[in-house]
Amino acid sequence: MKRTVIISLTLILILLSPIQTNAEKSYYIPQEDSTELRLQDMLMNFINPYINDAIQGYYQHLLRELPLVYPYFVDMIESHRVNGFRGFILSITLDVTPVIGPHISVGKDRLTFEISAGPKAKLVNYTHLKTYELPTHWQDIIKKPKKY
């Protein structure tokens, strides 16, 4: 009897103790401010209206409520100069996660913009990567296909 209690308590303590993991986070979260982070945030402030226009253009046919993309739901995938060294036409590719309501993700999309003087940003490529299923209490915003 005493032995069973000791074994049970030992197993409970082992199972309840935190397990250390070395798993890598799926994305980088900066722990302090830097010049690079401020420049990236300035770029996101500038380009965010263009991102939201592109996202809303895609999802307007699928959802009754238009999603938004917040700057912290944008990952920069690639950037380069289109017209060579010190050229001021730049290309930037972003992965974005549009959300509705209380930050419910509706999908994942990849957008490529060409940014030039003006300043202006032109969408040159839009790829829908993934659709996320909405919770049951948000299913009513999904547009049903028209029957002909």
Select the more confidently predicted residue: 148 or 137: 137
pTM: 0.74
Query: In this prediction, what percent of the chain has a pLDDT beyond 90?
Result: 44
Mean pLDDT of 126-145: 89
Q: Are the CB atoms for 106 and 63 separated by under 8 Å?
A: yes
- CA–centroid distance for 138 within its chain: 20
Q: Point out the least confidently predicted range of 1-10, 80-89, 107-116.
A: 1-10
Q: pLDDT at residue 23 above 80?
A: no
- Which pLDDT band holds residue 31 (cuts at 50, 70, 90)? confident
Tokens 């009754």 correspond to what residue? 64
